[in-house]
């Protein structure tokens, strides 16, 4: 049996091998299998390595002087291994899916480049999580950002993809600057870039430094995670990338931002069980609540299936942040039992979202690959031509909607129980604030269900609305298999939640429960008394019994009845067609009206009359559009201000040597005055 270090090294070498294969092999079927087969093998070794760490001991590996003055330090404990497990599971499923999906790029002669970037992207995420040094963390973070940028603009023939890529590049480097500032404060205090120094010495940091480390990390990692209002890049970049890459970015990459937050809060910032840090948790809850409600509101009105899924990722990041914030608040007041509950809720939703969002993006990619459109207004009726894709997408949709017996229900139930436990916090103001946070959480769950009723119903059910959804066939077997892997995990983590809770409790060194699939999940208060119980096997049995009973009742009641077919009552139209169906826009119209302050909707009407009489209308065409308030009210004014400022600064560049000499003289005079005043002081 391999040691954990050997497993890690094999994983790294396999991804590197897949990247090299992508550069060396010609564009053919064998190249696709070799490229993504290498990624599959690397993912399997990553899974094996992470499980070995979670169930065993941490791994430390140092390679001295990789770069002058810097040693490559690798440290993987249970927390890092938990996130590596997420990387491994999703990457394996997406790699299987990519064998068939990448066939369409073979015609464009780009499969080799896609394979190279794909393997390097996964490798960079593994190395970011495993790094134990600020320098190499930022180095691999930059590799992850750049490879994902090139994957976003992979279809660079489309101008909108280039714009999306540039937005992503600017925002990711904005976040990186704050991450660097957070690490720099740690270096100033410890004199070392090693994370071990941050862990050992951070408790002695001044309170102001601790607060700044947290705030800078929240902004930096929150940008990568897609936290509102730093989310502007996410709904642009994820839909622009190839769908297999979108699955990795939304399911895995944004979770690296969550990993960075957890490491900073609990390891690098000097956080402790003191009320001084309660506001950290409240800030996380506030950003999480806003992210959840904004994400789901923009998802429900989207007509682009991949943009809707991207906005949904913002919503789910918000739910993760709510759980994480509650854990920080409970820890601050030494409420250990509730802190564990909230952290389990946050981490359970982290792995759940990775699984069902990877599944949904692959399902959307399957639809786009055969219909060549992302607009659900043009789809419909695909369940007959793509039954397997429809079934697997439905599993993902039910999971993300938080319905039993799938995995999303478990983590959202944990989160709700954590919110209900807030009355134990010994502060009335905080109790009321957390109670208000439960309102957007509840609203989010309801609108999320409406979102995926719309996405699934308008894509796969009813009649085909255009030629895009006619005469198509099911996607290749490898794509079905890749989606099936994550669908199976959705079911497994829902029916047997003890697997998820045991995994998290072992990785984070927390009390483990339940210990078998037939045990109930019992949530206890500080005194050890249980106040909430849930047994998923019982839930599954009850749901199955009710379904069987209803089916049997209908069969018995109906008996051997005679069937007679009649034409559908059609209000005198003669026949019903796809033009008479509900559209995605009309289905979400009530929500768009109620929350119009966020959408600022506007309609454009075009009328065509018979002759010159305006009252004899031939056709009426109405187009409804919405605006993004964050882009219009926040980012557009900021960008305009910077452009205005630098346009004024540009005028200083006159091209005349006399002007430049004057600038130098003014600078020298100001420096001399500064030195003189400093000496006098």
Burial class (CB in 10 A: 0-12, 13-18, 19+), 430: buried
**Helix 207-225, helix 254-263: angle, nearest 10:** 170
Distances (CA, A) of 510 to 314, 328, 502: 28, 15, 9
Task: Classify 375 as helix, strand or coil.
Answer: strand
DSSP class per residue in 61-115: EEEEEEETTEEEEEEE-HHHHHHHHHHHHHHHHHHHHHHHHTHHHHTTT-HHHHH
- C-alpha–C-alpha distance, residues 86 and 251, integer Å: 9
Neighbours of 146 (CB within 10 A): 17
- C-alpha–C-alpha distance, residues 435 and 423, integer Å: 9
Q: Give the pLDDT mean for 586-615.
A: 75
Tens of pLDDT along 647-656? Answer: 777 777 777 7
Q: Give the pLDDT mean for 349-360.
A: 96
DSSP H or E run through 534: strand 530-534
Distances (CA, A) of 234 to 151, 169, 401, 436: 14, 11, 21, 27
pLDDT of residue 469: 65
Tens of pLDDT along 512-531? Answer: 655 555 555 656 655 556 65
pLDDT of residue 180: 95
φ/ψ region of 302 (left if φ > 0, alpha if ψ in -120 to 50, else beta) reads: beta
pTM for the whole structure = 0.90
Q: Does residue 39 have a pLDDT over 80?
A: yes
Neighbours of 166 (CB within 10 A): 16
- Better-scored residue on pLDDT, 80 or 518: 80
Q: Does residue 298 have a pLDDT over 70?
A: yes
- C-alpha–C-alpha distance, residues 314 and 667, integer Å: 47
Distances (CA, A) of 122 to 45, 140, 217, 247: 13, 11, 23, 12
- Better-scored residue on pLDDT, 315 or 159: 315
Q: What residues does each domain of the chain span?
A: 1-132, 598-650, 651-681
Q: Give the pLDDT mean for 156-164.
A: 84
From first CA to last CA, the distance across the chain in angstroms is 69
Residue 134 · residue 193 · CB < 8 Å: yes
- C-alpha–C-alpha distance, residues 429 and 412, integer Å: 24
Q: Give the pLDDT mean for 177-189.
A: 94
Task: Give the CA radius of gyration of the chain.
Answer: 27
- C-alpha–C-alpha distance, residues 561 and 68, integer Å: 84
- Better-scored residue on pLDDT, 613 or 500: 500
Identify the DSSP state of 668: H
Tens of pLDDT along 541-562? Answer: 777 777 788 777 777 766 666 6
Tens of pLDDT along 357-404? Answer: 999 999 999 999 998 888 888 888 888 889 999 999 999 999 999 888
Q: Which of 46, 197, 50 is nearest to 133 (CA)?
A: 197
Token look-up 């009355």 returns 423
Token look-up 């949530």 returns 523
Neighbours of 509 (CB within 10 A): 10
Q: What's the full length of the chain, in residues?
A: 681
DSSP H or E run through 618: strand 617-625
Q: Give the pLDDT mean for 80-109.
A: 89
- C-alpha–C-alpha distance, residues 472 and 24, integer Å: 34
Residues 6+ apart with CB under 8 A from 362: 93, 94, 97, 101, 243, 244, 247, 479, 482, 483, 486
Tens of pLDDT along 216-275? Answer: 999 999 999 999 999 899 999 988 899 999 999 999 999 999 999 999 999 988 888 888
């Amino acid at each position: 049996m391999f040691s954990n270090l050997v497993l890690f090294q094999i994983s790294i070498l396999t991804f590197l091998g897949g990247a090299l294969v992508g550069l060396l092999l010609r564009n053919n079927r064998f190249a696709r299998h070799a490229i993504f087969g290498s990624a599959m093998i690397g993912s399997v070794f990553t899974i094996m390595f992470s499980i070995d760490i979670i169930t065993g001991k941490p791994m430390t590996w140092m390679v001295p002087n990789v770069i002058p003055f810097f040693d490559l330090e690798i440290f993987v404990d249970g927390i890092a291994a938990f996130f590596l497990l997420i990387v491994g599971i999703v990457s394996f499923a997406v790699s299987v899916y990519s064998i068939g999906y990448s066939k369409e790029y073979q015609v464009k002669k780009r499969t080799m480049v896609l394979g190279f970037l794909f393997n390097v992207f996964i490798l960079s995420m593994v190395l970011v999580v495993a790094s134990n040094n600020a320098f190499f963390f930022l180095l691999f973070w930059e590799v992850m950002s750049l490879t994902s940028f090139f994957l976003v603009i992979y279809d660079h023939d489309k101008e909108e993809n280039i714009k999306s890529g540039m937005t992503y590049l600017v925002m990711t480097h904005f976040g990186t600057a704050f991450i660097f500032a957070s690490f720099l404060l740690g270096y100033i205090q410890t004199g070392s870039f090693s994370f071990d120094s941050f862990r050992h010495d951070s408790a002695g940091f001044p309170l102001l430094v601790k607060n700044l480390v947290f705030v800078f990390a929240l902004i930096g990692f929150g940008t990568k995670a897609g936290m509102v209002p730093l989310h502007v890049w996410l709904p642009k970049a994820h839909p622009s990338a190839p769908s297999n890459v979108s699955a990795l970015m939304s399911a895995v990459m944004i979770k690296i931002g969550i990993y960075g937050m957890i490491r900073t809060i609990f390891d690098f910032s000097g956080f402790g069980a003191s009320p001084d840090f309660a506001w950290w948790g409240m800030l996380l809850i506030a950003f999480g609540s806003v992210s959840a409600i904004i994400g789901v509101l923009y998802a429900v009105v989207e007509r682009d299936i991949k943009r809707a899924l991207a906005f949904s990722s913002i919503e789910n990041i918000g739910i993760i942040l709510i759980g994480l914030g509650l854990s920080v608040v409970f820890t601050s007041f030494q409420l250990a039992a509730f802190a564990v509950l909230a952290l389990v809720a946050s981490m359970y939703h982290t792995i759940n979202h990775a699984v069902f969002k990877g599944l949904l993006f692959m399902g959307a990619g399957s639809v786009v690959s055969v219909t060549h459109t992302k607009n659900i207004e043009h789809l419909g009726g695909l369940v007959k031509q793509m039954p397997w894709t429809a079934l697997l997408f439905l599993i993902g949709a039910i999971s993300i909607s938080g319905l039993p017996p799938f995995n999303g229900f478990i983590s959202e139930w944990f989160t709700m129980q954590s919110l209900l436990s807030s009355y134990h916090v010994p502060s009335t103001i905080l109790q009321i604030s957390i109670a208000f946070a439960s309102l957007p959480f509840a609203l989010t769950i309801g609108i999320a269900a409406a979102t995926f009723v719309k996405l699934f119903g308008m894509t796969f059910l009813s009649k085909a609305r255009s030629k895009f959804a006619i005469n198509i066939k099911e996607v290749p077997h490898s794509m079905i298999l890749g989606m099936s892997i994550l669908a199976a995990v959705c079911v497994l983590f829902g029916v047997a939640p003890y697997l998820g809770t045991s995994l998290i409790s072992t990785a984070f060194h927390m009390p483990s429960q339940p210990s078998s699939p037939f045990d109930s999940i019992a949530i206890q208060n500080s005194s050890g008394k249980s106040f909430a119980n849930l047994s998923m096997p019982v839930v599954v049995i009850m749901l199955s019994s009710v379904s069987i009973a209803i089916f049997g009742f209908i069969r018995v009641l109906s008996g051997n009845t005679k069937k007679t077919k009649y034409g559908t009552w059609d209000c005198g139209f003669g026949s019903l067609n796809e033009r008479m169906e509900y559209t995605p826009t009309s289905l979400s119209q009530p929500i768009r009206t109620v929350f119009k302050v966020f959408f600022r909707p506007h309609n454009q009407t075009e009328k065509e009359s018979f002759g010159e009489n305006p009252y004899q209308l031939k056709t009426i065409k109405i187009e409804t559009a919405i605006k993004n308030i964050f882009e219009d009210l926040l980012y557009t004014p900021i960008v305009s201000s910077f452009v205005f400022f630098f346009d004024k600064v540009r005028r200083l560049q006159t091209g005349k040597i006399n002007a430049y000499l004057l600038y130098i003289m003014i600078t020298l005079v100001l420096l001399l005055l500064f030195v003189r005043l400093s000496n006098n002081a």
